């Protein structure tokens, strides 16, 4: 299936906004701008180009025009409305934004949509088969592997990949390979239980 998604955002389509020009090529990864301490000279940077990308997300093909500075994370959340993927830091530290790109786990805040042109993306919304949850999702509920649930989509995507990679040989191995996903509610022991359960089920 293919749909040409050019939904207006904020009352203006991105394309219309783009025509106004005046973009900087600098990718400002964090919003916390400390006055004049950063961004010197950014105003002089050349306009950011926009480009057409094709993303296969959860089995659906989307053709989009995106600014080259836009992350994969912003693209799935803001353009495709797939808000299951979370932003916890926007700089690769927390793992809340983890998605699968061609089956590999990737922190979607650390990659630009244009870099993933033509690839297959799986987000947390794409795991269940209809009403039937993925075994990792089932295991997370059964083992109470979340509290607030904010890190959970990232933990689950990471767990799916961790199991695929075969990094579930022991609890210590699971701990190590699940350490790129922070959980401040601190559900780690239950996450290990859930990943171990789901890995066994698959074996």
93: contact with ligand FES by CB under 6 A: yes
Q: 25 near 12, Cβ under 8 Å?
A: no
Give the three-class secondary structure for 190.
helix
Q: Closer to ligand FES by CB, 48 or 94: give it.
A: 94
Residues 6+ apart with CB under 8 A from 14: 6, 50, 65, 66, 67, 79
| Residue 97: contacted member of another protein, ligand FES, none (CB under 5 to 8 Å, by partner type) | ligand FES
State the nearest-atom distance from the C-beta of 186 to ligand FES, in Å. 7
| Residue 32: contacted member of another protein, ligand FES, none (CB under 5 to 8 Å, by partner type) | another protein
- Which of 23, 92, 133, 164 binds ligand FES (CB under 6 A)? It is 92
State the nearest-atom distance from the C-beta of 137 to ligand FES, in Å. 14
Instruction: With CA atoms as reference, report the closest residue to 87 among 103, 100, 66, 71.
Output: 71
Applying the rule CB under 6 A, the residues between 27 and 46 that interact with ligand FES are none
Give the three-class secondary structure for 61.
strand
The string of DSSP letters for 99-113 reads: EEETTEEEEGGGSBG
Footprint of ligand FES (CB under 6 A): 87-90, 92-97, 107, 109, 146-152, 183-185, 187
């Amino acid at each position: 299936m293919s749909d040409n998604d050019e939904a207006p955002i904020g009352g203006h389509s991105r394309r219309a906004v783009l025509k106004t020009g005046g973009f900087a090529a600098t990718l400002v990864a964090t919003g916390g701008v400390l006055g004049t301490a950063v961004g010197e000279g950014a105003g002089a940077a050349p306009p950011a180009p926009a480009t057409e990308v094709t993303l296969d997300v959860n089995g659906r093909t989307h053709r989009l025009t995106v600014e080259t500075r836009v992350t994969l994370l912003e693209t799935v959340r803001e353009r495709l409305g797939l808000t299951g993927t979370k932003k916890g830091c926007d700089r690769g530290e927390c793992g809340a934004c983890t998605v699968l790109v061609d089956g590999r786990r990737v922190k979607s805040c650390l990659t630009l949509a244009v870099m993933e042109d033509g690839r297959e993306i799986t987000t947390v919304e794409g795991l269940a088969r209809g009403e039937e949850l993925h075994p990792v999702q089932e295991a997370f509920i059964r083992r109470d592997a979340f509290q607030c649930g904010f890190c959970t989509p990232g933990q689950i995507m990471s767990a799916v990949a961790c199991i695929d990679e075969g990094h579930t040989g022991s609890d210590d191995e699971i701990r190590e390979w699940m350490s790129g996903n922070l959980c401040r509610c601190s559900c780690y022991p239950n996450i290990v239980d859930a990943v171990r359960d789901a890995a066994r089920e698959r074996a």
